[in-house]
């Protein structure tokens, strides 16, 4: 994308005023979005992101900027403009770039650019029909298909010059069920960092039917009655609990500034003994996986919590300088416009020994959160919330009636201590995570777990 | 710069019926401070080209940033995108409104202040906040940004419009600590004039918020009279904005379809979209399709008057665009300055008249915890417990639930403290007779 010699010259220029590290990140990304409403395609858009970002570090201080012009003149000018805002002496660091190749963890066979829009719409049609045909109560179906091919280049003053290709593909659907003037929605998605072979092998019909079934079930459900409950959170997207309640608080973004409730707790017990939590960017072709992070470092499997003990934070290069903690291959950015920082990849609770049936059987009275919606957290207080999009009551060890409108709230430090059963059925859900460096694909995952004594909100009357 | 005239000419030759270029430019400076030192600064300018074109009666979209992008490639991709569209929607590229309002804007003065002085104002803000109360443990965010954003719309129907806006903002985040309790205070002050950025006011607001919440705990689960404070009320309205969107109506994703001129809220509720508001950074003389903007009532004395429309959704319902076309990948619909109009009593009076109840200052997780079709929501909330007309203690980790339309028919009193957020959505504080609260 940009010749090695130009990168080398620009990086050298960056270091003339006292900077001790400089980095170039360039990308050429093409994203296609197709939207189908009521079985008709109503939008097809293409977005091309094309830019080169430079940042210079002097200790912890960072100056950054970007341009959409890839010419030598433009890149050197950007380097000069940025370095002029530092006013120190050249430290004499000599930049010598050497080309590297990234690990091969993700692989795209049927690349998005090799398919016509017409071929892509066929997958959407399948999902639409399966949802629509499920029940006469299905009032509306929306289906979205997005694919993104990203070519990135990272070069830095420590000699790195590395390029990589990513191919993010995701199909999602939203069903609206209607009954007696009431409307309820359900949605889900399938996504991975690979090509369209993903959709060739996926059970699109089964995926669609589950969405339809959830919407129809919820339109007949009673309102959740608020209070304190034992909550059984089902596998896959249920992992959003770990993502929100805990791991955002382990990101260097908040830890380096001393703004997380988990600061200074390495080696200490922060969760019940049965909890092991992992962030693993090396899972083959998974939605949150990458060959390399956005600083050009290989992604890795990071054990964050092991048997309840905090083992690691998620750390990018700049924050590693402040935290005295090794980098974890976790530096990510939505695109060149954002500065990279520590983020999650595929984050999950490791499987335990309990059987799903036994977890339900062991729960006298509680809430079964089968599907979770999104949520959010404030890392400084650890207070989090998330919505239950498909819920059921558990009475005398049995799943009984469906309930809607349940919201779970709590504090991260407490909820991890209250996990008392972990199943053996690990699975993943595919989300977009929004934070300091923009919106990025991340997987959340877990087996079915049980959490004691959670505050559950709802509109139902006692 | 890309040659727009050439693109339009070539497109016409290639059987494209109409084409439009929406060119947005921005120039931004941002500086952030941590413990008295600049820890991040960012300077950039960018240009984004969004092109849409009608081919065989279908509207396709393409966005790119490389100004040297080949014109033939642009046209080819637009045709490919148009070819797959099957929805029977009538579309239009706009020739222009008869006239456009003028928007009076103040002289911002941002370029008259040196970067060193901007750093100095940040240092002052940080210092004021950290010294205001001994329980302030950390200033975890302190930044200044200024941005000049421009929009240029040019199309094959002869439209050629330009608008530009400069604004600046300071963001301050503080953490207060006492015993085991951590609380945060966050304040964003956005201004059209540099002089309106007042470090003392910003620091005080963030610090007061954090300190007053120390020791917050849940309250008992039951139905309480609830005052939702203006900023939180604006967040709630924002969450339910799509209820009033012509685009949602087209997809049957709002319960207000067919309810024009019907009573949907109680008599004293007025919801207004005023794109020409003098002191909002969001204001604009024309929308993202080049349609002139004007002030309108969405809800008037409780009666639903109109959906917000762009050209496409207006055609679908046989009405005129309300000038609410908003660019978001393709062309969507959005309020410009959409707000619930204010009442007479102050927030303090609403509190004083409450025997037992809650003042909610913050609603979190609304992106997930609400259903814009049904109007239902359940949101993690924090605020204060009111007893005998006085604030008694801070409250957190509770869930307040409700249904937006039902609530707006069960209002006790609308406050006078109208607040318009930086996203152009606003509300005063409103007291509701009863909402279910889940806590202990």
Q: pLDDT by residue (tens digit) across A286-335?
A: 999 999 999 999 999 999 999 999 999 999 999 999 999 999 999 999 99
Strand partners, A443: A346, A430
Mean pLDDT of chain A: 96
Nearest in space to A164 (alpha carbons), one of A94, A106, A239:
A106
Is residue A89 within 8 Å of A166, Cβ to Cβ? no
Q: What's the rounded Cα separation, in Å, for the pair A375 and A240?
A: 7
Confidence bin at A374 (pLDDT 50/70/90): confident
CB spacing of A455 vs B398 below 8 angstroms: yes
- How much is the pLDDT for B261? 97
Residues in chain B within 8 Å Cβ distance of A406: 378
Contacts of B365 in chain A (CB under 8 A): 374-376, 385-387, 407
- B267/chain A closest Cα distance in angstroms: 24
User: Are residues B218 and A455, on separate chains, in Cβ contact within 8 Å?
Assistant: yes
Cβ–Cβ below 8 Å for B40 and A116: no
Cβ-Cβ contacts under 8 Å, B253 against chain A: 140, 176
Judge whether A233 and B113 are in contact, CB under 8 Å.
no
Strand partners, A280: A301
State mean pLDDT over A341-358.
Answer: 97
Closest CA to A283 of A346, A238, A194: A346
Nearest CB partner across the interface for B364, out of A51, A140, A385 = A385
Candidates B29, B22, B30; CA nearest to B47 is: B22
pLDDT in the model for residue A108? 93
CA distances from A130 to A59, B33, B80, B252 (A): 56, 53, 27, 20
| Residue the block writes with tokens 């609403």 | B350
Q: Global pTM?
A: 0.94
Whole-angstrom Cα distance, residue B115 to residue B136? Answer: 28
Classify burial at B259, counting beta carbons within 10 Å of its beta carbon; exposed 0-12, middle 13-18, buried 19 or more: middle
Euclidean distance between CA atoms B12 and B93, whole angstroms: 14
Q: Which pair of tokens denotes residue A75?
A: 């890149």
User: How far are the Cα atoms of A387, A406, B222 from residue A213, in angstroms, in the given order?
Assistant: 18, 18, 32
A120 CB neighbours in chain B (<8 A) are: 84
Burial B197-209 (b: 16+ CB within 10 A, else e): bebeebbbbbbbb
Residue with tokens 């990510």: A332
The span from the CA of B419 to the CA of B361, in Å, is: 13
Chain A hits for B371, CB-CB cut-off 8 Å, are 183-185, 405
3-class secondary-structure state, position A401: strand
pLDDT band for position B1 (cuts 50, 70, 90): low
Q: Do B437 and A254 touch (CB under 8 A)?
A: no
Indicate the average pLDDT of chain B: 95
Mutate to test the interface with B, among A18, A30, A44, A183 (most CBs of B within 10 A): A44
CB contact under 8 A, A459 and B255: no
Q: Say if residues B29 and B166 touch (Cβ distance below 8 Å).
A: no
Q: Count Cβ–Cβ pairs < 8 Å, chain A vs chain B.
A: 232
| Mean pLDDT, range A182-210, rounded to an integer | 96
Candidate from A118, A387, A455 with C-beta closest to B369: A387
Token reading at A299: 């992604």
Above 80 in pLDDT, residue B233?
Answer: yes
Look at residue A462 and tell me whether its pLDDT is greater than 80: no
Averaged pLDDT for residues B236-243: 96
Beta bridge partners of B380: B364, B399
Nearest to B140 among A37, A81, A380 (CB): A380
> Helical H runs in A388-436?
412-417
At A398, phi and psi to the nearest 5?
-130, 145
- B66·A409 Cβ contact <8 A: no
Put simply, the answer to whether A118 touches B84 (Cβ < 8 Å) is yes
- Per-residue pLDDT for B279 more than 90? no
SS3 per residue for chain A: CCCHHHHHHHHHHHHHHCCCEEEEEEEEEEEEEEEEECCEEEEEEEEEEEEEEEEEEECCEEEEEEECCCCHHHHHHHHHHHHCCCCCCCCCCCCCCEEECCCCCCCCCCCHHHCCHHHHHHHHHHHHHHHHCCCCCEEEEEEEEEEEEEEEEEEECCCEEEEEEEEEEEEEEEEEEEECCEEEEEEEEEEEECCCHHHHHCCHHHHHHHHHHHHHHHHCCEECECEEEEEEECCEHHHHHHHHHCHHHHEHHHHCCCCCCCCCCCCCECCCCCCCEEEECCCCCECCCCCECCCCCECCEEEEEECCEECCCECCHHHHHHHCCCCCCCEECCCCCCCCEECCCEEEECCCCECHHHHHHCCCEEEEEEEEEEEEEECCCCEEEEEEEEEEEEECCEEEEEEECCEEEEEHHHHHHCEEEEECCCEEEEEEEEECCEEEEEEEEECCEEEEEEEEECCECC
Q: Please give the pLDDT value at position B360.
A: 98
pLDDT of residue B104: 85
Enumerate the H helices of A143-246 as residue ranges.
Answer: 197-201, 204-219, 240-245
List pLDDT tens digits, range B157-189. 999 999 999 999 999 999 999 998 899 999 999
Rounded to whole angstroms, what are the CA distances from A397 to A61, A357, A363, A366, A400?
56, 9, 5, 9, 9
Please report residues of B whose CB lies closer than 8 A to that of A381: 182-184, 396
Contact at CB, A378 and B46, closer than 8 angstroms? no
SS3 A330: coil
Any idea which of A410-414, A438-442, B220-224 has the lowest mean pLDDT?
A410-414
* Cross-chain CB nearest to A62 (options B39, B77, B440): B39
Q: At residue A116, what are phi and psi to the nearest 5 degrees?
A: -85, 160
Question: Is A257 close to B397, i.e. CB distance below 8 A?
Answer: no
Q: What sign results for the dihedral spanned by CA atoms B426, B431, B437, B439? A: positive
Residue ranges with strand state E in A309-426 = 309-310, 331-332, 341-342, 346-349, 365-378, 383-395, 398-404, 407-411, 419-422
Place of tokens 């929100």: A244
First to last CA, chain B: 61
Chain B positions in Cβ-Cβ contact with residue A415 (cut-off 8 Å): none
Structure confidence at residue B225 (pLDDT): 98
CA distance A190 to chain B (A): 19
pLDDT tens across B396-419, in order?
A: 999 999 999 999 999 999 999 999
Contacts of A227 in chain B (CB under 8 A): 221, 438
Given an 8 Å threshold on Cβ–Cβ distance, is B40 in contact with A339? Answer: yes
- Tell me which of B30, B76, B436 to substitute to probe the interface with A (most A C-beta atoms closer than 10 Å): B436
Residues B376, A385: C-beta atoms closer than 8 Å: no
Residues of B in contact with A139 (CB under 8 A): 252
Which residues from chain B sit within 8 angstroms of residue A48, using beta carbons?
62-66, 69
Chain A interface, mutation test: which of B63, B177, B178, B378, most A Cβ atoms within 10 Å?
Answer: B378
Residue of chain A minimizing CA distance to B331: A43
Whole-number pLDDT of residue B63: 97
CA distance A122 to A139: 21
Separation between Cα atoms, residue A232 and residue A404, nearest integer Å? 15
CA separation for the pair A348, A384 (Å, rounded): 17
Over the stretch B327-352, which tens digit does the pLDDT of each residue have? Answer: 988 999 999 999 999 999 999 999 99
Asked if the model's pLDDT at residue B75 lies above 70, the reply is yes
The CA distance from A44 to B81, in Å, is 5
Across B28-47, average pLDDT: 93
Residue A216 Cα distances to A41, A437, B51, B167, angstroms: 24, 37, 40, 47
Chain A residues within an 8 Å CB radius of B43: 63, 65, 81-82, 85
pLDDT at residue A361, as a whole number: 98
Please give the average per-residue pLDDT across B67-73, as a whole number. 92
- Answer whether A187's CB lies under 8 Å from A211's CB: yes
CA angle (A130, A133, A134) in 5-degree steps = 85
Chain A residues in contact with B397 by the CB 8 A cut-off are 383, 409-411, 455
Task: Read off φ and ψ for residue A33, nearest 5 degrees.
Answer: -125, 125
Residue B328 has a pLDDT of 86
Q: CA of A228: which chain B residue's CA is closest? A: B440
Order of strands, sheet of B419-420, starting from the edge strand that comes earlier in the sequence: B303-304, B296-300, B271-273, B338-340, B425-427, B419-420
Are residues A65 and B42, on separate chains, in Cβ contact within 8 Å? yes
3-state secondary structure B147-190: EEEEEEEEECCCCEEEEEEEEEEEEEEEEEEECCEEEEEEEEEE
CA of A30, closest CA in chain B: separation in Å?
9
pLDDT per position as a tens digit, A82-125: 999 998 999 999 999 999 999 999 999 999 999 999 999 999 99
Answer yes or no: is pLDDT of A284 > 70.
yes
What is the pLDDT at residue B408? 98
In this structure, what DSSP letter does residue A250 have? G
Residue B261 backbone dihedrals phi, psi, to 5 degrees: 65, 15
């Amino acid at each position: 994308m940009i010749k090695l010699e130009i990168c080398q010259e620009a990086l050298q220029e960056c270091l003339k005023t006292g900077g001790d590290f400089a980095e170039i990140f360039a990308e050429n990304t093409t994203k296609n979005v197709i939207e189908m409403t009521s079985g008709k395609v109503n939008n097809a858009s293409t977005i091309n992101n094309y830019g080169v970002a430079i940042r210079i570090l002097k200790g912890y201080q960072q100056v950054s900027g970007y341009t959409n012009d890839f010419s030598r003149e433009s890149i050197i000018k950007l380097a000069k403009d940025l370095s002029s805002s530092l006013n120190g002496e050249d430290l004499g660091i000599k930049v010598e770039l050497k080309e590297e190749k990234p690990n091969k963890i993700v692989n795209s066979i049927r690349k998005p650019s090799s398919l016509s829009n017409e071929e892509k719409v066929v997958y959407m049609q399948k999902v639409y029909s399966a949802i629509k045909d499920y029940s006469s109560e299905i009032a509306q179906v929306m289906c979205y298909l997005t694919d993104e091919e990203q070519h990135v280049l990272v070069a830095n003053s420590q000699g790195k010059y590395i390029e990589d290709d990513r191919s993010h593909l995701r199909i999602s659907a939203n069903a609206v069920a209607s009954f007696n003037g009431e409307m309820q929605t359900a949605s889900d998605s399938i996504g991975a960092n690979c090509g369209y072979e993903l959709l060739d092998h996926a059970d699109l019909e089964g995926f669609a039917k589950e969405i339809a079934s959830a919407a129809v079930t919820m339109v007949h459900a009673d309102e959740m009655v608020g209070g304190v409950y034992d909550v059984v959170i089902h596998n896959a997207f249920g992992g959003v609990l770990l993502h929100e309640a805990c791991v955002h608080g382990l990101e260097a973004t908040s830890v380096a500034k001393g703004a997380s409730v988990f600061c200074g707790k390495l080696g200490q017990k922060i969760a019940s003994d049965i909890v092991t939590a992992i962030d693993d960017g090396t899972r083959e072709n998974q939605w949150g996986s990458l060959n390399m992070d956005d600083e050009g470092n290989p992604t890795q499997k990071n054990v964050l919590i092991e048997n309840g003990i905090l083992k690691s934070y998620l750390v990018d290069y700049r924050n590693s300088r402040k935290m005295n903690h090794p980098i974890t291959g976790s530096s990510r950015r939505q695109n060149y416009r954002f500065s990279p920082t520590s983020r999650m990849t595929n984050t999950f609770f490791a499987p335990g020994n309990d059987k799903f049936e036994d977890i339900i059987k062991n729960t006298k009275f509680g809430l079964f959160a089968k599907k979770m919606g999104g949520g959010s957290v404030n890392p400084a207080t650890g207070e989090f919330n998330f919505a239950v999009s498909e819920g059921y009551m558990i009475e005398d060890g049995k799943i009984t009636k469906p309930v809607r409108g349940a919201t779970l709230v709590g504090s991260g430090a407490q909820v991890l201590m209250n996990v008392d059963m972990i199943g053996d059925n690990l699975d993943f859900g595919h989300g977009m995570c929004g934070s300091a460096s923009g919106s990025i694909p991340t997987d959340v995952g877990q087996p079915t777990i049980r959490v004691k004594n959670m505050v559950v909100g709802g509109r139902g009357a006692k | 710069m890309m040659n727009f005239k050439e693109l339009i000419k070539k497109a016409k030759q290639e059987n494209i019926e109409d084409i439009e270029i929406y060119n947005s430019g921005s120039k931004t400076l941002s500086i952030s401070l941590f413990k008295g030192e600049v820890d991040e600064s960012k300077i950039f300018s960018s240009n984004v080209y969004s092109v849409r074109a009608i081919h065989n009666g279908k509207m396709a979209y393409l966005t790119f940033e490389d100004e040297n992008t080949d014109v033939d490639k642009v046209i080819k991709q637009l045709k490919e995108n148009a070819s797959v569209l099957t929805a029977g929607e009538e579309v239009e590229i706009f020739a222009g409104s008869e006239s456009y309002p003028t928007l009076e804007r103040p002289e911002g003065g941002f370029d008259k202040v040196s970067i060193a002085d901007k750093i100095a104002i940040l240092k002052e803000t940080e210092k004021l906040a950290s010294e205001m109360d001994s329980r302030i443990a950390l200033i975890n965010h302190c930044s200044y940004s200024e941005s000049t954003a421009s929009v240029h719309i040019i199309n094959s129907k002869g439209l050629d419009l330009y608008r530009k806006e400069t604004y600046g903002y300071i963001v301050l985040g503080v953490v207060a600590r006492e015993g085991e309790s951590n609380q945060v205070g966050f304040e964003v002050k956005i201004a059209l004039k540099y002089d309106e950025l007042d470090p003392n006011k910003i620091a005080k607001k963030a610090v007061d918020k954090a300190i007053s919440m120390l020791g917050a705990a849940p309250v008992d689960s039951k139905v309480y009279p609830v005052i939702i404070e203006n900023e939180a009320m604006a967040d709630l309205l924002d969450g339910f904005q799509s209820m009033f969107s012509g685009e949602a109506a087209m997809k049957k994703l709002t319960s207000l379809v067919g309810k024009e001129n019907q009573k949907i809220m109680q008599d004293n509720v007025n919801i207004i979209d005023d794109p020409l508001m003098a002191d909002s950074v969001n204001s604009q003389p024309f929308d993202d399709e080049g349609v002139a903007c004007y002030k309108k009532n969405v809800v008037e004395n409780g009666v639903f008057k109109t959906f917000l429309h762009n050209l496409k959704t207006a055609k679908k319902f046989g009405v005129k665009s309300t000038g609410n076309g908003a660019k978001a990948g393709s062309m969507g619909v959005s309020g410009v300055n959409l707000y619930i109009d204010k009442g007479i009593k102050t927030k303090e009076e609403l509190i004083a008249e409450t025997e037992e109840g809650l003042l909610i200052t913050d609603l979190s997780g609304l992106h997930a915890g609400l259903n814009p079709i049904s109007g239902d929501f359940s949101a993690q909330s924090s605020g204060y417990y009111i007893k005998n007309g006085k604030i008694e203690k801070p409250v957190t980790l509770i869930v307040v639930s409700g249904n937006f339309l039902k609530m707006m028919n069960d209002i006790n009193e609308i406050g006078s403290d109208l607040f318009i957020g930086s996203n152009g959505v606003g509300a005063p504080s409103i007291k509701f007779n009863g909402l279910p609260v889940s806590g202990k």
